[in-house]
Amino acid sequence: MPDVTMPQLGETVADGTVTKWFKNVGDAVVRGEPLFEVSTDKVDTEIPAQVDGILTAILVEEGVTVDVGTKLAVIGGDGTEALVTPKVAAIATESSPPPTGRAVVKASRDTSASPLSPVVRRLLAEHDLHSDLVQGSGPQGRITRDDVLAHVANAQATAPVASPITGLSPVVRRLLSDHRIDPSSVVGTGANGRLTRRDVEAFIENRGKSETSVARGDEVVPFTKRRRLTAEHMVRSKATSAHTLMVKEVDFERVEIVRRSAGASFKEREGFTLTYLPFIAVATLQALRDFPHLNASVGDDELVIHHDLNLGIAVDLDSDGLVVPVVHGADDYSLRSLALKIRDLAANARTKQLTVDDMSNGTFTITNPGPFGTLLTGAIINQPQVAILSTDGVARKPVVVTASDGGESIAIHSVGMLALTFDHRAIDGAYAARFLLRVAEILNTRNWAEDL
């Protein structure tokens, strides 16, 4: 039977947290569809099933952190294997989990001579039961539906009602802690009154509705893991780099003419709008070749200049934090291919399809709040880089235009701000100013129509 193990999501990643199972024990699994979600200190990503079959065992619960290579689940071929839930797996564990909270568990085998019916497998999974615990009354000791129901009824009748505080799974404990909930205030619907994940989630939802209807004061919203990691990264960056902001107003009319003429055909062909971002990215990459000290990182009393141009694009995860996927070798891309690549990376970030490699080795970052009409953004540097460029909103404005004969006139152009936050340890203001001037010149002089 194929084992499902914690994948290696990057060379420096040693462990991961199972944050969600998309399938339950007994469900059919199709190769390529999402099976579970993993969170590391670098990325959250969905892991697809590698084979077809039946999910016969889940050995690691949601919320548990395990080392790379740890067995997480088992996928059987025909569905006749014993079904094992995390609770049963824990009973079969050879030793207690290490004190770090990582779980290494093994599934026990079903010794029943007769296969279990789908109905029986489902009932066993729903009640966290192993087939060894149920006395079978069918032919050759086979377990029937009535056997399982009788076992459950007898256990509920004879066992004392458990305190909802005892026997909590790691994911339930995490939910209670994150939302500061007293477990005794939640009604458990699990076996013997045990709290389940659904019980806590329902309590949180109902509490939120009631608080919204009557509360006028403060609301406490605990940080998610992604929000917490983003916050830590921002604070560390501000403590590390000598942040300095420089802004230049840029005339985007040359770009706007191409967007107006080619935008409709581009959207029809590619399926999305041609924005200013890929134009700015191409101009930035070209300018970085002329100003390599901005494509660098600070070492021990030294500046490490990177010859590869790996462009990071900051992506907002619906206000749940930021990730920065990277276009490796970005200067090898054409305008069209770079627009497609940025679009794909942003979509993968929001659907948790990024790998650690997708977010590694960036050398310069662009953040793009412009679609929201921002005027000026002083972004925080993405460590260990030395600069980040913010592309703010572009709007139609009156500008002074100089003709070839030197005469001046007023025209309506598309104008926006480019804001560069740079590490003053690495470069000085004059170097940053010349870089911004070069980006503006490229945007105003390059033959963008040829790039499309």
Query: DSSP assignment, residue 352?
Result: T
Coil, strand or helix at 405: coil
Residue 402 has which token pair?
């100089």
- Give the separation between CA 53 and CA 26, rounded to whole angstroms: 10
Q: Which of the residues 27, 182, 428, 451 is marked catalytic?
A: 428
Phi, psi of 278, rounded to the nearest 5 degrees = -65, -30
128 Ramachandran zone, left/alpha/beta (phi>0; psi -120 to 50): left
- Residue 424 annotated in active site: yes
Q: Which of the residues 290, 308, 332, 424 is marked catalytic?
A: 424
Nearest to 357 by CA among 384, 328, 333, 321: 328
Sign of CA dihedral 205, 211, 212, 213: positive
- For 155, residues 6+ apart whose C-beta sits below 8 A from its C-beta are 191, 192
Residues across the chain: 452
Q: Give CA separation, 98 vs 39, 64, 141, 275, 397, in Å.
A: 20, 12, 38, 51, 64
- For 153, residues 6+ apart whose C-beta sits below 8 A from its C-beta are none
Nearest to 83 by CA among 8, 167, 25: 25
Question: Active-site residue numbers?
Answer: 424, 428
